[in-house]
Amino acid sequence: MPCLNEAETVETCVRKTIGFFDDNGIDGEVVIADNGSTDGSQQLARDAGARVVPVIDKGYGNALMGGIRAARGRYVAMGDADDSYDFTTLGPFLDELRDGADLVMGNRFKGGIADGAMPPLHRYLGNPVLSFVGRLFFGSKIGDFHCGLRAFDKDAILRLGLQTGGMEFASEMVVKATLQGYDIREVPTTLSPDGRTRAPHLNTWRDGWRHLRFLMLYSPRWLFLIPGLVFMTLGLLAGIALSTGPVTVGEIAFDVDTLVGAGAALVIGFQAVLFALLTKVYAMQEGFLPHDQRVQKIIDWWSLERGLLLGGLLAVAGLGGLVASLLHWRVNSFGELDPRESLRIVVPAATALVMSLQAIFASLFVSILGIRRRQHPPVVDPAEEAAGVVDAAARRVAKDEPAKVSAGRAAGTARTTGNAGKAGNAGKAAARKSGATKASKSDVSDDDGASGK
């Protein structure tokens, strides 16, 4: 449970969850990811039986990731510590996880939203619209993208590399799990009015925009490609129709002014399509989006040379149009021209030139992005490698040589001492022999003989 000054409700949430564990024989713990509370929430949570984990980085997403990483269980359930969710109803979530689900989402619209539990703007506009956008952009089947009560396999969620630190964390988890093909399921859950008297941390417009921004940035198709194709199609069709003369629809006449707008729409659309491709390539290489075989085929086909060729052909067409416009001007003795005639030559030519430069620059940029993708291991010269091995062996030998010399000197000293000992023993033996002889000749006493020894 993320927590920031939830002294009024955190104890109740902890006790409910621990009671759920005890009633169902579940080996679990309650982790309070505290984001800097100043109202004593931490101690209240500990007294109720929770483990409090301090999270320094501010934000809903940061607090949750701190708690998720600190959790010790295989499965993790997350929910707000404001008593708006009933933690005694986690049984269906756990059943789905045990059945193989990676992520189990609660759905408040199916389970029930109590009066006063959700502002009307959130209930009838914000959540439905953002959830629809998420389903449209990413093909998800989740009906409630932003339900705060959900459960998941800890290892599976950590593999997603979630990074957002604010409220958009809720969307990021669903989007990335969907893109990775996770088994995502949904169970009805209820939402009750929270038990606190202070204002909620959620900011309607700021956090709503952050959710929408995240959904758009993670979908280059809807952010760039589809709008770009629409602009290109409209601009191309209108340009072709107006390049030969004015077009009248009812009482409305479209002429060269509309042709200029068509040229602009064609350029904007072409640029948006290029942005979609570049964004997709970058996101794939950095791991933000999964690998897309269709995009990979385009990149493999669209080499730098092909891009330069396409740009060159467009440039030739544009220059040809400019030459034609100069000839048209010459025919009129370089005098005043009728814009309705001259613009039908100049506008398509200028449009082709602009698109040629866009194609060339995009091809160069794709090639730059491909440098990282095509990195090869460094080539090692075998001779240099062998020389390095020899040098390393020589250094080891030089390092070991002083020790060997010391050991040799010690051994030589031991041998010298041993030889001296042997000589001493031989002398003693000779003395003993001499003493015995003297004793036998001069009848020396045993004590003298012992002294002789």
Domain ranges of the chain: 2-217, 220-373
Pick the closest to residue 99 from 29, 149, 147, 151 (CA basis). 151
Domain with residues 2-217, CATH architecture: Alpha-Beta Complex (3.90)
Asked if residues 395 and 310 have their Cβ atoms less than 8 Å apart, the reply is no
Question: Would you list the DSSP string of 327-396?
Answer: HHHHHTTT----HHHHHHHHHHHHHHHHHHHHHHHHHHHHHHHHHHHT--PPP--HHHHHHHHHHHHHHH
pLDDT given for residue 433 in this prediction: 40
Residues 6+ apart with CB under 8 A from 148: 78, 79, 80, 84, 85, 106, 170
Q: Per residue of the chain (453 residues), what is the pLDDT tens digit?
A: 999 999 999 999 999 999 999 999 999 999 999 999 999 999 999 999 999 999 999 999 999 999 999 999 999 999 999 999 999 999 999 999 999 999 999 999 999 999 989 999 999 999 999 999 999 999 999 999 999 999 999 999 999 999 899 999 999 999 999 999 999 999 999 999 998 888 887 888 888 898 898 898 889 999 999 999 999 999 999 999 998 888 988 888 899 899 999 999 999 999 999 999 888 888 887 777 777 888 888 877 888 888 899 999 999 999 998 898 888 888 777 877 777 888 888 999 999 999 999 999 998 988 887 775 454 555 555 656 666 666 776 677 676 655 554 555 544 544 444 444 444 444 444 444 444 333 333 343 333 333 333
Q: Residue 402: its pLDDT value, please? A: 58
- Check residue 425 and give its pLDDT: 47
Strand partners, 252: 249
Instruction: Spell out the SS3 assignment of 132-167.
Output: HHHHHHHCCCCCCCCCCCEEEEHHHHHCCCCCCCCC
pLDDT for 382 equals: 60
Structure-token pair, residue 310:
């396409």
Cβ(324)–Cβ(337) under 8 Å?
Answer: no
- pLDDT value, residue 447: 37
Q: Provide the pLDDT for residue 428.
A: 43
Six-digit token string for 171? 């969307």
H helix and E strand count, the chain: 18, 9
What pLDDT sits at residue 449? 38
pLDDT at 452: 37
